[in-house]
Amino acid sequence: MFRYHAEYDGSKCDHPSYYSCPWIQHGLVFFRYKLATCCYCGHVGGGHTLVKDDYRGEPINWEHIFKQKKTFNRLYKKGLIHDNCVNCPFLELLYNETWDREENYISNVYISHWTECNSKCIYCYATQHPEEFSYKTKNYSVLPIIKEMLEKNILRRGGNVHFGGGEPTILPEFEDLIRLLLNYKFYDLRVHTSGIKYSPILERGIREGRLRVIVSVDAGCPETFKKIKQVDAYNIVRENVRKYAAAQIHKRIALTPHLYMDGEICAGTKFIIIPGINDTEEEVENWIRADVESGVHTTIIDLEENWFKAHEDNLPQSIFDFIYKIKLLSDKYHTHFELYERLENMLKNNPDKAPWYVPYHK
Ligand code: SF4
Ligand code: SF4
């Protein structure tokens, strides 16, 4: 529902302006049974604004999609903001004419329309709600839609194309999708993977400096890995991380005249902090050390969603202190420290508990 928020009403600015974001303008998300505007959900409004419910791969009425986006613009101009967008860090205030100049096209895509995986993470929504995913319906295919979007120039470079999932590397159309996007010279491709299955097409994307692979590790040793993932694959995953890291180019790659990709951060792993299970300094240091030894130069962290939701009204100082310790470890090993959206918002909203934190999105 759209409601009036005085703080988002830019119509009274000296130069009339309004709030929007790259996803309202140019975003499309493929979920299992629906299309959405964006995949962000770590803020108060919760994101995932619906574009079409009960979607299973049917041809898309593009005219309708772009009309919907214009409706957002018309309402946001009056300060009428969708509940799901409230407090989202991606909302940006720009002059009316700046937003209105934008053409109709899609450049931000998130592909997350399947749930099958070769891991069984204890925090995964599919593991926690098997009843919801136990009945088998055939996955729809995104490949013909992406092909159509490219042929009609609806999908354009300049944004980002990310994969969620499920495990992308076991998706039958995955290699074709990535190959197609690489052949069309897309950049800022990002793939989240369990790392259990090695993918040569991901290696190609890394080598070309146009694709980032984020392997979910969450652990610094095989025992903790098995406890969290419920599969015995730590050594396989670490070996695959090493192979992805070896494909990195050690230079900045010019993607456009104004945009560069740092080839050294194309292969990364992620550590989701699960309090009570992997939140020790030793575990984190072992994880970072193993990364650095295999050629990974990033330290990417997130916080387990269910724990966060249960504590978000009264977050203990200890979690902020632990994140600071990880930041210090990242400094010690000279890695690029990255926070996922939920953590970034948490630190930004609690400056008294994390005075060391400098927000990336103000
Ligand atoms: S939730 Fe945030 S990213 Fe998503 S459409 Fe709204 S403002 Fe944009
Ligand atoms: S790797 Fe991702 S999709 Fe697979 S079980 Fe873990 S959280 Fe779920």
| 353 domain-assigned | no
Q: Which amino acid is located at 9 in the chain?
A: D
For residue 362, name the pLDDT band (cuts at 50, 70, 90): very low
| 157 domain-assigned | yes
| 312 domain-assigned | no
* 97 CA from centroid of ligand 1 (Å): 20
Count of the separate structural domains present in the chain: 1
| 50 domain-assigned | yes
| 292 domain-assigned | no
pLDDT of 131:
61
Residues with CB under 6 A from ligand 1: 21, 23-24, 37-38, 40, 45, 47, 49, 84-85, 88, 90-91
Which residue has better confidence, 10 or 42? 10
In angstroms, the CA 1 to CA 80 distance is 9
| 153 domain-assigned | yes
Mind listing the pLDDT tens digit for each residue in 51-103? Answer: 888 899 999 999 999 999 999 999 999 999 999 999 888 899 999 999 999 99
Phi, psi of 142 (to 5 degrees): -90, -20
Q: Does residue 355 register a pLDDT over 60? A: yes
In angstroms, the CA 71 to CA 208 distance is 38
Does the beta carbon of 129 sit less than 6 angstroms from any atom of ligand 2? no
329, 285 in Cβ contact below 8 A? yes
* 61 CA from centroid of ligand 1 (Å): 22
Q: Which amino acid is located at 35 in the chain?
A: L
| 354 domain-assigned | no
Length of the chain: 362
In angstroms, the CA 309 to CA 315 distance is 10
| 34 domain-assigned | yes
269, 216 in Cβ contact below 8 A? yes
Question: Whole domain around residue 142: which residue ranges?
Answer: 2-269
Q: Which amino acid is located at 123 in the chain?
A: Y
In angstroms, the CA 350 to CA 357 distance is 10
Does the beta carbon of 165 sit less than 6 angstroms from any atom of ligand 2? yes
Ligand with the closest atom to the CA of 197: 2
Phi, psi of 299 (to 5 degrees): -130, 100
Sign of CA dihedral 141, 147, 150, 156: positive
Q: Which residues are 95's β-sheet partners?
A: 17
Phi, psi of 276 (to 5 degrees): 95, -15
Closest residue (by CA) to atom 2 of ligand 2?
166
Q: Does residue 134 register a pLDDT over 80? A: no
